[in-house]
Amino acid sequence: MVEHSEHIQEEEIRKSLIIDIDDFTDVELENSRLLFARTSKFVISVASNSGYPFHNKREIAFAGRSNVGKSSLINSITEVSGLARVSNTPGRTQMINFFSQDDAFYLVDLPGFGYAKASKDAIKKWKSLTYDYLQGRKELELVFFLIDSRHGIKEIDENIMDILDSAAVSYQIVMTKYDKINKSQSQKLIETTNEKISKRAAARPGILVSSSKDKYGIDIIRALIYRIINT
């Protein structure tokens, strides 16, 4: 009985740390569904900050290690297959890609970082491009910071979070490829992740979990985006 009670308590703790559908109203869920049922379109790819689009709308960015699933997540959120380019080759996204959602706000796909096989010059260029955007883009409202559920937060992720913290850029942790881990792994992953982000100034509380493969958690991410751009 003691072991069973401890297991229930652990499960409750895990669930309390995950942002789920009960954290949103029916109105938010329906309005976010309608919002992302409207037109999603690619706008521009930029290789320097001089190429950023000019507008007065909010931007929601997606950042994470190479091959963490940023493009797949954007395609799932917008329900437009191929909107963001998906590749099994790490480091393929070398520019910042801007997408307009219903002409109301922008989704921004940032270059993946941590690709060891890229040339030093390419890595330097990618870092400069990404850092300039994170630290100087006034339209940026929130960064969804993606972490591969199979690996958790690594040192390189911590380095990027240091930059986000120092720049006071608000970010929300999203655990991708959640379908790839089992329940016992999930328990440890969520608790360890929460422990790390709870000490960070710019990290938003709570953890989003998602799977582009089975669309798990996609409606919740949409609802959070809707809430943020309407606040």
What is the full per-residue pLDDT of the chain (231 aa) written as tens digits?
545 444 445 555 556 789 999 999 999 999 999 999 999 999 999 988 888 999 999 999 999 988 899 999 999 999 998 898 755 544 445 789 999 999 999 999 998 876 545 556 666 677 778 888 888 899 999 999 999 999 999 988 888 888 888 888 999 999 999 999 998 899 899 999 999 999 999 999 999 999 998 999 999 999 999 999 998
Q: What is the pLDDT of residue 115?
A: 56
AA identity, residue 91:
G
Place of tokens 């329900």: 79
Any idea where the domains of the chain sit in the sequence?
2-229
- How many residues does the structure list for the chain? 231
| 60 strand-pairing partners | 107, 142
Q: What is the pLDDT of residue 5?
A: 46
Interatomic CA distance for residues 98 and 41, integer angstroms: 9
Count CB neighbours of 118 within 10 A. 18
AA identity, residue 107:
L
* CA distances in angstroms from 47 to 50, 125, 126, 128, listed in the order given: 8, 9, 9, 10
Interatomic CA distance for residues 63 and 143, integer angstroms: 7
Reported pTM: 0.88
Structure token pair of residue 170:
């608000």
Across 205-215, b (16+ Cβ under 10 Å) vs e yields ebbbbbbbeee
State the Cα angle at 224 between 174 and 36, rounded to 5°. Answer: 105
* CA distances in angstroms from 88 to 33, 50, 66, 85, 175, listed in the order given: 29, 29, 10, 10, 18
Homologous superfamily assigned to 2-229:
P-loop containing nucleotide triphosphate hydrolases (3.40.50.300)
